[in-house]
Structure 1
Amino acid sequence: MTQHDPHAPADCHFCGARATGIGVGLTSPRDKDPRWICAPCALVMEDFRRVVRMDAYELRALELVDDVAGDYCADIGKTDMADMTELERRMLWKTVWKGCGNSLRKLVRDGSAPF
């Protein structure tokens, strides 16, 4: 089993999408993970610094994603995953994945406290 290279971007520290080569958080020699971030989250980096606790934002973003996923299912006219083609299911997950990151960034950018 190989170790993860701490110098290779992986998942975005904020939204979980694929990260770019932008890393934040190395403030001392003890820091091992530069906390890689994706390009869209890099654009709202200053706003993320105001967020003390991400859990409430993530929960609110998840609620918003439920609407996005519902809209996608309505567009294809299917609500049962067993009735969806493989492509439709993959597109549903893509919609959910991107919707979560987009919703999280929107909440932070707008200053919409989810609690």
Structure 2
Amino acid sequence: MTQHDTHTPSDCHYCGERAIGIGVGFTSARDKDPKWICAPCSLVLEDFRRVVRMDAYELKAIELVDEIAGEYCAEIGLTDMAEMSELERRMLWKTVWKGCGTSLRKLVRSNDAPF
């Protein structure tokens, strides 16, 4: 079993995108995970700090991503994934991946309750 390298960023603690070398919550040698974050989330870090419970925000962000993905499918004129080319499917997943982070940051920044 390999040990996780806590000095190498991996996924953003907030949105799941590729993290950069900025970590939060690493206050002492006892802390195991510095909670790495991505560049876009680092810009709204103060907003994230006031959020008490992320789950509701994540669920609402998923609803928004569903709309974003539906808009993409409508743009290419396909509703059945089996009819999509490999490139179209990859672009759909890219749209969904980016949409999650963007939607989550938008919701947190809006200061509105996600429910």
Q: CA RMSD in A?
A: 0.8
Instruction: Give structure 1 regions of 4+ aligned residues with deviation exceeding 2 angstroms.
Output: 1-4
Secondary structure at the residue paired with 1:32?
coil
Gaps of 5+ in 1: none
User: What residue in structure 1 maps to residue 99 of structure 2?
Assistant: 99
- Mind listing any 5+ residue stretches in structure 2 that lack a counterpart? none
TM-score by length of structure 1 reads 0.97
Do structure 1's residue 112 and structure 2's residue 78 form an aligned pair? no
What's the CA shift for 1:112?
1.9
Structure-2 residue corresponding to 1:32: 32
Measured in 1, the distance between the counterparts of 2:76 and 2:112 equals 31
Aligned residue number for residue 67 of structure 2: 67
SS across alignment from 1:106:
helix
Counterpart-to-counterpart distance in 2, 1:54 and 1:36: 16
Q: CA deviation at 1:106?
A: 0.2
Q: TM-score, with normalisation over the residues of structure 2?
A: 0.97
Give the C-alpha shift of residue 4 in structure 1: 2.2
Aligned-pair identity (%) = 79
1:19 and 1:100 map into 2 onto residues whose CA distance is: 15
Q: 1:45 maps to which residue? A: 45
Give the Å deviation of 1:9.
0.3
